Amino acid sequence: MSKPLVVFVLGGPGAGKGTQSERIVNQFDFVHLSAGDLLRTEMNSGSSNGEMISSMIKEGKIVPSEVTVRLLETAMKKSDKNKFLIDGFPRNEENNQSWEREMGGKINFGFVLYFSVSEEELEKRLLNRGQTSGRSDDNIASIKKRFNTYKESTIPVIEYYAKQGKAVKINGEKPVEEVWEEVKKEFVTRDG
Q: Which residues of 141-164 are buried (b: 16+ CB within 10 A; e: fewer)?
A: ebbebbbebbeebbeebbeebeee
Using CA of residue 93, residue 94, residue 96, residue 97, what is the dihedral sign?
positive
Counting contacts by CB under 5 A, is residue 18 touching Mg ion?
Answer: yes
For 49, list phi and psi in degrees, rounded to 5: -85, 0
Counting contacts by CB under 6 A, is residue 88 touching ligand UP5?
Answer: yes
116 vs 147: CA distance, rounded Å: 13
Q: Binding-site residue total for ligand UP5 (CB under 6 A)?
A: 29
Burial category of 114 from C-beta neighbours within 10 Å (exposed 0-12, middle 13-18, buried 19 and up): buried
Q: In terms of CB distance, is 18 or 50 closer to Mg ion?
A: 18
Counting contacts by CB under 6 A, is residue 130 touching ligand UP5?
Answer: no
Q: In terms of CB distance, is 17 or 83 closer to Mg ion?
A: 17
Residue 20's region, left for phi above 0, alpha for psi from -120 to 50, else beta, is: alpha
Counting contacts by CB under 6 A, is residue 125 touching ligand UP5?
Answer: yes
Counting contacts by CB under 6 A, is residue 91 touching ligand UP5?
Answer: yes
Enter the DSSP assignment of 49: T
Q: What is the closest distance, in whole angstroms, from the C-beta atom of residue 17 to Mg ion in the complex? A: 5
Q: What is the closest distance, in whole angstroms, from the C-beta atom of residue 1 to ligand UP5 in the complex? A: 26
Q: Which residues contact 20 (CB under 8 A, 6 or more apart)?
A: 9, 115, 170, 172, 176, 179, 180, 183
Which residues within the stretch 20-39 sit at the binding site for ligand UP5 (CB under 6 A)?
Answer: 34-36, 39
Q: In terms of CB distance, is 96 or 137 closer to Mg ion?
A: 137
Candidates 7-15, 41-49, 74-82, 156-164; binding stretch for ligand UP5 (CB under 6 A) = 7-15
Which residues within the stretch 85-144 sit at the binding site for Mg ion (CB under 5 A)?
Answer: none
Q: Give residues in contact with ligand UP5 (CB under 6 A).
A: 11, 13-19, 34-36, 39, 56-57, 60-63, 68, 88-89, 91, 125, 129, 137, 146, 175-176, 179
